[in-house]
Amino acid sequence: FFLQGGFGLLETGGCRAKNSKNIMLKNLMDACVGGLVYYIFGWGLAHGGETTNEKGAPNGKTFLGDGQFMLLPHKNIEAYGYHLFFFNYVFAATIATIVSGAVAERIQFRAYMIYSFLLTGFVYPICSHWIWSPDGFLYRAGVIDFAGGG
């Protein structure tokens, strides 16, 4: 979670002083908007739903998850605990923050918030489902994610 502040300081150091408040606000809003969007949509798309059917066979949901939106009670969240949600949310928010450095001083705040909303709520969760979920097609193909970022 401390990556948010670190990236904010890094981006601020590479930009003009007049934009430092804007950059730090974007990094703060990445954490806030990212947390809300990942809670509502992201977790469900990344890890939601049953991984097996009643007979124990894989359910075939290799592209995206389809349950546990807003962390509704489910055996996955009960088995893993809420720390796994926090871990994944921090990765999703950090992904948006990394790109904010590339668009610093080049994008309007409103457009950046839309981008952050889409990236943390939809793009990152779907991609992380592919490799971190036991249902993901890359996971089933034997791909191993050593970096931990999906």
Cβ–Cβ < 8 Å for 68, 77: yes
Q: Give the pLDDT confidence score for residue 36 in this predicted structure.
A: 93
Q: Give the pLDDT confidence score for residue 123 in this predicted structure.
A: 92
pLDDT tens column, 12-41: 888 888 888 888 888 888 889 999 999 998
Q: Give the pLDDT confidence score for residue 114 in this predicted structure.
A: 93
Residue type, 123: V
DSSP 69: G
Measured CA distances, 111 to 18, 24, 26, 84 (Å): 19, 16, 11, 30
- How far is CA 143 from its chain centroid? 20
What are the residue ranges in the chain where pLDDT is below 50?
none
Cβ–Cβ < 8 Å for 50, 143: no
